Structure 1
């Protein structure tokens, strides 16, 4: 309770001092993010879940606000917007029979990227900078979807950390904020959380070995308080080990590999949804 009161006080001070706009500002030529944190250095804050009207959504048919998410394989999800924009995460060459409009990749292994994406894919977003001169930066608007990234370091085969070798990609669509942690290898800083902002849906690797520990992933899920947590990147270890790290979250075991969701149909409490094949 004291942490939340301290966070609220800090937020009120930001509002009074006029610094809130700075915390929300976008980079040069970058579209302002509806998901980015409203205060950059307020630890332990649980981000507010804005109503549909607050997110710029108006009354209309439910289908106009539905986003479809499909688990494809390993760390690949297909995200389909109400307008039909298709984005595939950690794309290694396949995301279904229809090519995505956008693919994101991460450097870690060949199961998270492909050097030969189909030339018909309009937008290929690599989570690392192939030129090696600084982090990859993406801020792509396509139709009703906006995709940006927050870079993190990655562990090399020798054990050293390579700066900015991984990206957490954030997909902003139909008022929802959807985050994919990629091949995350280390705990996040307050600055990372501020850059990420609020996430309604979190795609999290749960292998507990090749990526960060299941305990560490559980801490991220607990802090972000996303309404839907989608496990991915699991090998042979039982998923119950990850579920034990988030004992206060509800758990749903689905029989189909895809579902639709909108701002108005998000669960009231954080819920882990386990899709077939995970």
Structure 2
């Protein structure tokens, strides 16, 4: 849905004000509004995006997604932009991505020595706990973030310790929830806007508990949910069992690679389980 241009400034100001009142977020998160409302379906902006070398298996109007493991996915656009989520020193894609996002929680979610060939290293936090704000156009990909809080090992709150990164390409909005530790507010949901794919941590312990994660996923209403951050099959099954019967279909794929497009999104909301090992 396209926002009428005269209303953009009004919506932006209102959203900033609302987010400033939210306990779990900051005004810097408002750029996520752009994913569905300010870019989607805009052919002028699409013509402006230069093309680089495309991924071999990603056709125009498609996005490639490969589950590498833990919380790391490789996202590939038709224009050749590659992203590694929660880039770290333990689980990495074989290729050097153009973009790497990272989160603070544990060393399996960030790297102190990212490959120097990465063009954009996007940390989802600041050491001084002030908000961090991303609003990047990289060829045919847009990247934004919405910050949330995390707990430290004593249970104390670290403000702005996690970012939900939002990626938009081929008119698809993909959200990586990172190391989410709490449910989302009404303002958070509004800032994220329309999401098509949610990459969700489902361990139920180190991140958000299962009931809380189910609440988040229901509120986001994305057609596709892809589990991540589970430590064994029983952890995954616990999430799937609890989520079954909640109007979501469950699909298990044999390949860690998935090609997504707006035209092929499932009509019934679906949890797609990808095996790690991209």
**TM-score range, shorter-chain basis?**
0.7 to 0.9
**Residue 55 of structure 2 aligns with which residue?**
none
Unaligned runs of 5+ in 1: 1-14, 39-53
Alignment check: 8 A CA contact 1:107 1:127 kept: yes
Residue 31 of structure 1, CA deviation: 9.6
CA distance in 2, matches of 1:22, 1:206: 37
**Residue 95 of structure 1 aligns with which residue?**
92
4+ aligned runs moved over 3 Å, structure 1: 18-21, 24-28
SS at match of 1:64: coil
Unaligned runs of 5+ in 2: 17-27, 45-57
Superposed, 1:27-106 pairs within 5 Å as 33-35=34-36, 55-56=41-42, 63-93=59-89, 94-106=91-103
Superposed, 1:132-143 pairs within 5 Å as 132=128, 134-143=130-139
1:228 aligns with 2:224: yes
**Residue 269 of structure 1 aligns with which residue?**
268
Residue 225 of structure 1, CA deviation: 1.2
SS at match of 1:34: helix
Q: Structure 2 vs 1, CA of residues 122 and 19 (structure 1 numbering), >3 Å: closer, same or farther?
A: closer
1:109 aligns with 2:110: no
SS at match of 1:65: coil
**Residue 257 of structure 2 aligns with which residue?**
258
Match for residue 129 of structure 1 among 120, 126, 129: 126
More helix by share: 2
1:138-164, Cα deviation, whole Å (9 max, x unpaired): 111100001010000010111101100
Residue 91 of structure 1, CA deviation: 0.6
TM-score, structure 2 as length reference: 0.80
CA distance in 1, matches of 2:213, 2:65: 21
Alignment check: 8 A CA contact 2:33 2:193 kept: no
CA distance in 2, matches of 1:20, 1:196: 16
CA distance in 2, matches of 1:259, 1:134: 36
1:218-266, Cα deviation, whole Å (9 max, x unpaired): 1111111111100000013332322223521011100000110111111
Aligned length: 243
Alignment check: 8 A CA contact 2:32 2:146 kept: no
1:214 aligns with 2:213: no
**Residue 25 of structure 2 aligns with which residue?**
none
Q: Structure 2 vs 1, CA of residues 92 and 214 (structure 1 numbering), >3 Å: closer, same or farther?
A: same
SS at match of 1:125: strand
